[in-house]
Amino acid sequence: MDEILLKYGCNPNQLPAKLSMRDGGQLPLEVLNGKPGYINFMDALNAWQLVKALKAAAQIPAAASFKHVSPAGAALGVPLSIESQKAFFVEDITGLNDSPIACAYARARGADRLSSFGDFIALSDTCDVTCARIIAREVSDGIIAPGYDQNALYILRQKRQGNFSIIQIDPDYLPSKMETRDIFGITFSQRFNDAAIDDSLLKRIVTKNQDLPKKAAIDLLVSLITLKYTQSNSVCLAKDGQAIGIGAGQQSRVHCVRLAADKADMWHLRHHPKTLALQFLPDIGRAARDNAIEAFLLNGQAAFLKGKWQALFAHEPDYITAQEKQEYLAGLSGVSLGSDAFFPFPDSILRAANSGVSYLAQPGGSVRDEEVIACCDEHNMLMAMTGLRLFHH
């Protein structure tokens, strides 16, 4: 296929709109179902690059959950604990941990379930039935993958009254070395960002703490690869092979860190015993449960009752007090943080320390690098300077 006509561009008034190759050649993808839109394809193509890079770096299947051209979550396909299965609403999926690609999407969706509502999904590997069963019951716009099992494809084609967008991409496709885009009628050209993100970027450790465990190194790579396809400024916190908090598109570095760390704190609190013990009425939808859990964790008992969220539960919840939350979060450690550009001040390090960050990776190059390193040393953090900026716009 040499072009795909789109319903409209970013907005309904932006017509006409289409997808095509600049050289007039064949598109490296095929629409198997539905009618993906302009933003759907932007999400799909960025998300595909992310999962392909994750798979290449870790040699493990990967998945991403994209919204508005930034990831809400990204993860490797490692098995889920019982607690994570409950937190991500997949404890009833038979054979989950036998399917790496299903584990990858359960984790990617579980990073920030509120933001993943209506996501576009990317899988590095063939979508199997187990993964399709997870996707089938989530609110999602579409999926891109290199292939689909026939039974998985049948399941996915039932979503959204048969209008779920399903894209199959050629996994061997490589873009040209130069890319262009137009803004206000003016054409920009630049080399395609094919910079590899691998262990070599983590060799320059500049802190007193030099001990970088293999798991932490993988988490740092997960965070950096995620950032390569996240609207800048951006910061990503990762743990156990998945992004757990992404701060995207902020104008200041510390606001990126605050946003990402706040999301990571919520991710951890979804694993709190009192959260896992919540019992919803049987007919309560998944999106309503996500919103109720957010209210449960954020607002405290008075605001929770005022919002009438308690009507969704089989019985009155055992609320988490502010002190309990503080104590729970204070016990966190081993979280990895990547930044797409340097830290201009130590304030970002201080906020990261409060969310259990032990390992950091950033390009370096600030006039206050020494202050930032000293702050890491004060908190016994390890910091690697990659020398590679990862702005994405």
- Tokens 């690098």 identify what position? 369
Residue-level length of the chain: 393
Check whether 306 has a pLDDT greater than 70: no
68 is catalytic: yes
In this predicted structure, the answer to whether residue 372 has a pLDDT above a threshold of 90 is yes
pLDDT, one tens digit per residue, over 321-335 is 989 999 999 999 999
Q: What's the CA gap between 197 and 87, in Å, rounded?
A: 30
Q: Answer for the pair 224, 390: CB distance below 8 angstroms, yes or no.
A: yes
pLDDT above 80 (res 370): yes
Q: Is the CATH code 1.20.58.110 the one for domain 193-269+329-385?
A: no
Q: Give the pLDDT of residue 299.
A: 75
Residue 67 annotated among the catalytic residues of the structure: yes
Domains of the chain by residue range: 3-169, 193-269+329-385, 278-317
Judge: domain 278-317, CATH 1.10.287. Answer: yes
Residue 237 pLDDT: 98
Q: Is 233 a catalytic residue?
A: yes
Matching CATH number, 3-169, of 3.40.50.300, 1.20.1250.20, 3.40.140.20, 2.30.42.10:
3.40.140.20
Which residue among the candidates 33, 233, 239, 272 is catalytic per the annotation?
Answer: 233
Nearest to 348 by CA among 247, 269, 202: 247
For every residue of 278-345, DSSP letters joined together read: --B-TT--HHHHHHHHHHHHHSHHHHHHHTTGGGGBSS---PPPHHHHHHHHHT---EEEEESS--SS
Chain-wide mean pLDDT for the chain?
A: 95
393 is a catalytic site residue: yes
CA angle 98, 55, 228 (to 5 degrees): 135
- pLDDT band of 303, cuts 50, 70, 90: low
Q: Report the percentage of the chain scoring pLDDT > 70.
A: 98
Tell me, what's the pLDDT at 315? Answer: 85
State pTM to two decimals.
0.95
Catalytic residue among 67, 86, 159, 272: 67
The answer to whether domain 3-169 and domain 193-269+329-385 are alike in fold is: yes
Query: How many other CB atoms sit within 10 Å of the CB of residue 326?
Result: 11
Q: Across residues 283-309, what is the average pLDDT?
A: 82
